[in-house]
Amino acid sequence: MSSSESQDPAAASEVQLSKKAAKKEAAKADKLRRRQEIAAASAATANLSVDEDDPLAANYGDVPLVELQSKTPANVDDWTPVEALGVALENKTVLIRGTAQTIRPVGKKMAFLVIRDDYFTVQCLVQAQPDTVSPQMVKFAASLNRESIVDVEGVVTIPTAPIKGATQQVEIQVRKLHCISRAMPTLPINLDDAARSEIEIEKAIQAGEQLVRVNQDTRLNFRVLDLRTPANQGIFSVQSHVSNAFRQFLLSEGFREIHTPKLIAGSSEGGASVFRLDYKGQPACLAQSPQLHKQMCICARFGRVFEIGPVFRAEDSYTHRHLCEFTGLDLEMEIKKHYFEVMDVVDRLFVAMFDSLNQHCKKDLEAIGSQYPFEPLKYLRNTLRLTYEEGIQMLKDVGVEIEPFGDLNTEAERKLGQLVLEKYGTEFYMLHRYPLAVRPFYTMPCYDNPAYSNSFDVFIRGEEIISGAQRVHVPELLEQRAAACGIDVKTISTYIDAFRYGAPLHGGFGVGLERVVMLFCGLNNIRKTSLFPRDPLRIAP
Amino acid sequence: MSSSESQDPAAASEVQLSKKAAKKEAAKADKLRRRQEIAAASAATANLSVDEDDPLAANYGDVPLVELQSKTPANVDDWTPVEALGVALENKTVLIRGTAQTIRPVGKKMAFLVIRDDYFTVQCLVQAQPDTVSPQMVKFAASLNRESIVDVEGVVTIPTAPIKGATQQVEIQVRKLHCISRAMPTLPINLDDAARSEIEIEKAIQAGEQLVRVNQDTRLNFRVLDLRTPANQGIFSVQSHVSNAFRQFLLSEGFREIHTPKLIAGSSEGGASVFRLDYKGQPACLAQSPQLHKQMCICARFGRVFEIGPVFRAEDSYTHRHLCEFTGLDLEMEIKKHYFEVMDVVDRLFVAMFDSLNQHCKKDLEAIGSQYPFEPLKYLRNTLRLTYEEGIQMLKDVGVEIEPFGDLNTEAERKLGQLVLEKYGTEFYMLHRYPLAVRPFYTMPCYDNPAYSNSFDVFIRGEEIISGAQRVHVPELLEQRAAACGIDVKTISTYIDAFRYGAPLHGGFGVGLERVVMLFCGLNNIRKTSLFPRDPLRIAP
């Protein structure tokens, strides 16, 4: 591609036929220049597919590396996003950059390309025509590998019949076609296979057909390809939106964003599930949550804080909902008197978040739903609150016996979720006043019965996503509780000391970003909502 | 504090004198109830300072733990923030919660308290008066330790002379005083000492006086106290604002927020400065940056991404600007043709951020400046761009010789910053087209001279804060460059493979959050802008 073209790529196609001679001359000069550049270009770009005897050779080919090394600044407005291609652009010449999703030659004189850009696709026709499109250019188009990145210049036309294989209802009559980056001929995952829903596969089986089903491990091994499916693009747009809704709500309520250290002396909150490492000769570990430091920020009179950051759990959990590294959304706040003040924030925050997702992520939720169908989350304007005792009574009433001072197992959580949905019409609710024995040492016991605690869990679609509580702010009680929970108080002495300088009443909660996305979208595996998941068996890519 | 009081704490003070008898009865009942509760309360709250023979005992004292264990929900609007205390509230009864910053008894009948809440302080007078304030209550006030947290109820009055020791120009005539959390009698750091500016200390020395100077290590050892100074409160408000300005600008330009893994197989980008650990029996390390994974997101067709998260460097750097763990602000984006497209984003993003800080963080910047004086950052509406060659020529012109294909050392960077400020009037500028040899292996070489690269650094006040570049998107060249830089290509094979499936032209940059805050505020040490800093000698608190 010559630099003059790139400055105004639309201009070239408006050249009159009378200027044919001049054009040929320009092409010739361009060819010469290209030859010189090709010679200069590195081995990486040796596979240029241009027929040098073609007088129209300037209209297509692999772009030599030198042109891609910031040789000339671009006017980025020269490119039209595929999303913007519509009937209003009829007969206009446009330049688009995108991924060659499908390449379909029809004889030697014609090839169809479908170009993808974000969620949007457009059909492009490369058809041999005297003076504009040479048969060699058609051959070049047909030779492209799927998933290669191309610049396509052409005229927008409106086809008489609807286009089935693309989102945009216009077609581009290609005049120029340049490949920016070639994909390898055979990809480890076929995108069509990766994007297919289970329903389609089942239908095909019933029709006696066999379609490829890409399993989870293969997807994760070639995650860079897997992530290109519309469903995955949707999942990570939703993920980005969840963080942002979380943050914007909290900033608007006077919270400050903090960044606590992930490298911790000793053993964080204790327990076996901690990654240990050597820190300049000192034993250290990775924080299992920002718990201790976010509370120390409260002791430092930060008032209201939140953090979005990685948390590390060296657990041997092989479930659909556990990861060894995930993104924690954490919050800690002063309270005046009661842990309900924290639950009030959960309530308003999540209702606002769900509303925002439904309003602003329609396209993303559709993309997810078309591969992994799900029902929109049912939630109330004021989130239902049940005590743990009420919860286990509901279970008891249908014959499920729960140890009154134990915890709910996954099965019981699901069952309770069903019962709550039937009785209250919501898939999002809070359970509070948990038995103290099943909560961390820093949880404040109840005023009237120390077998219970000022704590809560929050559930979406029958699975726990949030754990929160009022915290113990009295250093003596904190020491006592830590010791009772088998924690060596010496290892957390700086944390406990933080409460000796005057400590506000406070509470907070933590929630896993990946779980929120998984459960809001009704997905069946947390690995689907982590970019590059880490579980006991996987630390790559 | 009884539950009826807490429901409507203002009501009690409006009681008529004729209701004296009823009040005494209530106080008596309250006292009885309190006695029972005190007996029930845990050892942690044994040091109650209430004189039980005082008929006004209900008006003051340590709040027993049971009252702080979410016994009764509060109406949080019952409390007035100290910031809101002004002349409009004259003669009104208010309830405030805050930190007892200073406690000054005057004889046995009077005590002054200064209560702090955020940046704001108010003077409170506890003066013995029949029927409202007993001498025992004055004694209780005088016995409070600094930094204890208290609830103060009283009547707002306007003093005749201006109040010097507090921000609010009203005084509270205290009617009730309850301590929520007692600080220990002698704190490891005195807040007044920690908040003092170097100028004040110097002035005192000149006046023959000796004031305590709290050194950096002591501050960090007792960070929870140190963080309570106005300057530190300001620093971490600015930090929160920087992240948010970064994010909001990028979201508005179509970027998605991502979370890449911090646990990496092998050795991240290589080199010695990596923290290693065992990951379920596999060798692993902590990511030195999100570089490889954010580029893989570009290969996954994410288009434009950013991340805010911890990065880990096991470097033995003991400078004022290095940490072993800091918060990276990272960005990666497709480009059409030129790395200037990335620099354009840097330009608009940072000008918008600086504008936003100056506009929205006035109070915070003042708080910082009053302890650590600094001049507002000088920056242009369109950020200056110089090539590396131009930069070293400027240095050469004043006699500073730089190795043309080497890097600038800290001293040269500072000198160049001075020269640029003198010539162009800006303390924020970009230097681009760096020698390839001083950049990471994934940096794209220049089209016309492979000794240079399509890279840039950005400087604030003569110190580098941002490193960015166009990246190599051609797998063969990437392998070649990695090998040339001494990296074992096998250890980054999944990264390199990501470019074999069609890879967009792209570029990006990374910047340390703590450095941005440090340099914007002209601070002299990065440990001041990290909540709980980690350096080769420090991994606690």
pLDDT in tens, A44-94: 344 455 667 899 999 999 999 999 999 999 999 999 999 999 999 999 999
Predicted local confidence at residue B31, as pLDDT: 54
**DSSP conformation letters of B83-129:** GG-SGGGTT-EEEEEEEEEEEEEETTTEEEEEEEETTEEEEEEEE-B
| Rounded distance between C-alpha atoms, residue A191 and residue A99, angstroms | 12
- Domain ranges in chain A are 3-181, 191-222, 230-529
The answer to whether B309 touches B260, Cβ cutoff 8 Å, is yes
Cβ contacts of B325 on chain A, cutoff 8 Å: 261-263
Quote the pLDDT of residue B19. Answer: 47
Under CATH, what is the fold of the domain A230-529? BirA Bifunctional Protein; domain 2 (3.30.930)
Q: Do residue B534 and residue A99 have CB atoms under 8 angstroms apart?
A: no
Does ipTM surpass 0.95 in this model?
A: no
Quote the pLDDT of residue B266. Answer: 72
pLDDT over 60 at B312, yes or no = yes
Residue B21 predicted with pLDDT over 80: no
Work out the pLDDT band at B53, boundaries 50, 70, 90. Answer: confident
CA distance B150 to A292: 24
Burial B185-217 (b: 16+ CB within 10 A, else e): eebebebeebbbeeeebeeeeeeeeeeeebeee
Q: Which fold has domain A3-181?
A: OB fold (Dihydrolipoamide Acetyltransferase, E2P) (2.40.50)
CB atoms near residue B223 (< 10 Å): 26
Q: In this prediction, what percent of chain B has a pLDDT beyond 90?
A: 85
Q: In the numeric block, which tokens belong to residue A70? A: 């910031």
Query: Nearest CA to CA, how far is B17 from chain A (Å)?
Result: 30
> Does residue A313 have an active-site annotation?
yes
Q: What's residue B62's pLDDT?
A: 97
Tokens representing residue B146 in the block:
């600094």
Nearest CA to A508 out of A350, A335, A385 is that of A335
The pLDDT value given to residue A27:
56
**Phi/psi of residue B455, nearest 5 degrees:** -130, 165
Contacts 24+ apart (CB under 8 A), B209-217: B214/B189, B214/B190, B216/B525, B216/B527
pLDDT of residue B491: 86
- Indicate if the pLDDT at residue B34 is higher than 70: no
| pLDDT for residue B172 is more than 60 | yes
Cβ contacts of residue B85 below 8 Å, gap of 6+? B94, B96, B120, B122, B156, B168, B170, B172
Those residues whose C-beta lies under 8 Å from the C-beta of residue B534, and which sit 6 or more positions away, are A261, A263, B323, B324, B325
Same fold, A3-181 and A230-529: no
- Neighbour-count burial of B225, counting CB atoms closer than 10 A to its CB (0-12 exposed, 13-18 middle, 19+ buried): buried
In the predicted model, what is the mean pLDDT of residues B522-531?
98
- Cβ of residue B437 closer than 8 Å to a chain A Cβ: no
Higher-pLDDT residue of A266, B423: B423
β-strands B171-181, B60-62: how paired? parallel
Cα(first)–Cα(last) distance of chain A, in Å? 35
State the pLDDT at residue A50.
Answer: 63
| Percent of chain A predicted with pLDDT > 90 | 85
Position B15 pLDDT exceeds 70: no
With a cut of 80, say whether residue B536 has pLDDT above it: yes
The answer to whether the bond into A533 is cis (omega within 30° of 0) is: no
Tell me, what's the pLDDT at A201? 94
Put simply, the chain A residues between 396 and 415 with a CB less than 8 A from any chain B CB are: none
Is the pLDDT assigned to residue B46 strictly greater than 50? no
Which residues on B lie below 8 Å from A296 (Cβ)? 223-224, 532, 541
In a 13 Å sphere around the CA of A355, the CA atoms on its Cβ side amount to: 10
Write out the two tokens for B158.
Answer: 């306007």
Average pLDDT estimate for A265-271: 67
**pLDDT (0 to 100) of residue B269:** 61
pLDDT of A36: 45
Is a pLDDT exceeding 60 seen at residue B473? yes
Q: How far is A408 from chain B (nearest CA, A)?
A: 24
Peptide bond into A81 cis (omega under 30): no
Distance CA B79, CA A188 (A): 63
d(CA A45, CA A68): 11
pLDDT of residue B24: 53
pLDDT tens, B119-142? 999 999 999 999 999 999 999 999
Task: Give the whole-angstrom CA distance, residue A437 versus residue A452.
Answer: 8
DSSP structure class, residue A535: B
What is the mean predicted confidence (pLDDT) over B212-222? Answer: 95
pLDDT at A317: 87
Q: Which residues of B touch A474 (CB under 8 A)?
A: 44-45, 65, 181
Q: Of A268 and B371, which is predicted with more confidence?
A: B371
Cβ of B539 within 8 Å of Cβ of A265? The answer is: yes
Query: Tokens 């920020």 map to which residue?
Result: A297
Kindly name the residue from A467, A481, A506, A527 that is annotated as catalytic: A467
Q: Residue B331 pLDDT more than 90?
A: yes
| Nearest-5° Cα angle at B95, B92 to B99 | 130
Judge whether A308 and A514 are in contact, CB under 8 Å: no
Res. A491 pLDDT band, cuts 50 70 90: confident
Looking at B467, B473, B481, B527, which residue is catalytic? B467
Rounded Cα distance between A259 and A293, Å, is 9
Strands B120-127 and B171-181: parallel
* H/E element, B136: helix B135-143
Which of A328, A334, A332, A315 has its CA nearest to residue A262? Answer: A328
Cβ neighbours for A290, distance < 8 A, ≥ 6 positions apart? A258, A260, A307, A309, A311, A328, A330, A510
Q: pLDDT tens for residues B405-426?
A: 888 999 999 999 999 999 999 9
> Residue B268 above 80 pLDDT?
no
Whether the predicted pLDDT of B9 surpasses 70 = no
Which of B322, B338, B385, B538 is flagged as catalytic? B322
Amino acid at B415: K
pLDDT at A1 over 70: no
Asked whether the predicted pLDDT for residue B151 surpasses 50, the reply is yes
For residues B29-36, give the mean pLDDT. 49
Q: Which of A268-272, A318-322, A425-429, B365-369 has the lowest mean pLDDT?
A: A268-272
- Is residue A291 very low, low, confident or very high in pLDDT (cuts 50, 70, 90)? very high
A476 classed as catalytic:
no
Structure confidence by residue, pLDDT tens digits, A28-42: 545 544 444 444 443
Chain B residues lying within 8 Å of A432, measured CB to CB = none
Closest chain B residue by Cα to residue A273: B280
